[in-house]
Amino acid sequence: MNRRTVLYAGLVLGATMPSMRSFTASAAAAGSSQGSGAASGNEIFHVAIFRFAKEHVDDAIAAFHALASASRKESGNIRYEIYRGIDDNQEFYVVEHWASPTALAAHERTEAFIHYGQEVLVRHATLHHTVTARPFDVG
């Protein structure tokens, strides 16, 4: 198992995880506990992991700011958070909480997603992995 530590809004959150998929489930659960929308049963989380070469980090940060700002204004967006690695500050984790798969699909057709997400972030990333999941109650 490896240990990843991420920076979130000035707080350090640590998670021990056996795989990237475990991280995404943990991040989705964390987003769910902080979410502002009511649970609908149709909600989904989309988690994207990026890594950038040092020369592209500043461009990525600017793109993340613009994309997060636009995404948070979309109907159907419940929460949109970006984490930055502490052990590797060239790595970023985007945790998106959407009201439905339809809301996520609409987001992926927006001008902001196409420009910042596809033309800037994905183009410059040396690592890009995504997973989409539904929350579940672990009681």
Residue type, 56: H
Residue type, 40: S
Task: Please tell me the predicted confidence (pLDDT) of residue 5.
Answer: 40
* pLDDT 10s digits, 89-132: 999 999 999 999 999 999 999 999 999 999 999 999 999 999 99
* pLDDT 10s digits, 42-70: 999 999 999 999 999 999 999 999 999 99
Q: Beta strand pairing status for 44-52 and 91-98?
A: antiparallel
**Interacting residues of 128 by C-beta distance below 8 A, sequence separation 6+:** 48, 49, 50, 51, 121, 122
Domain spanning 2-133, CATH class: alpha beta
Indicate if the alpha-carbon torsion angle 30, 90, 99, 101 is positive or negative. Answer: negative
Map out the domains of the chain as residue ranges. 2-133
Residue with tokens 């590797």: 88
Alpha helices in 1-139 (DSSP H): 20-34, 57-72, 101-107, 111-112, 123-124
Task: Please tell me the predicted confidence (pLDDT) of residue 41.
Answer: 79
User: How far are the Cα atoms of 83, 114, 129, 130 from residue 68, in angstroms, in the given order?
Assistant: 12, 13, 18, 17
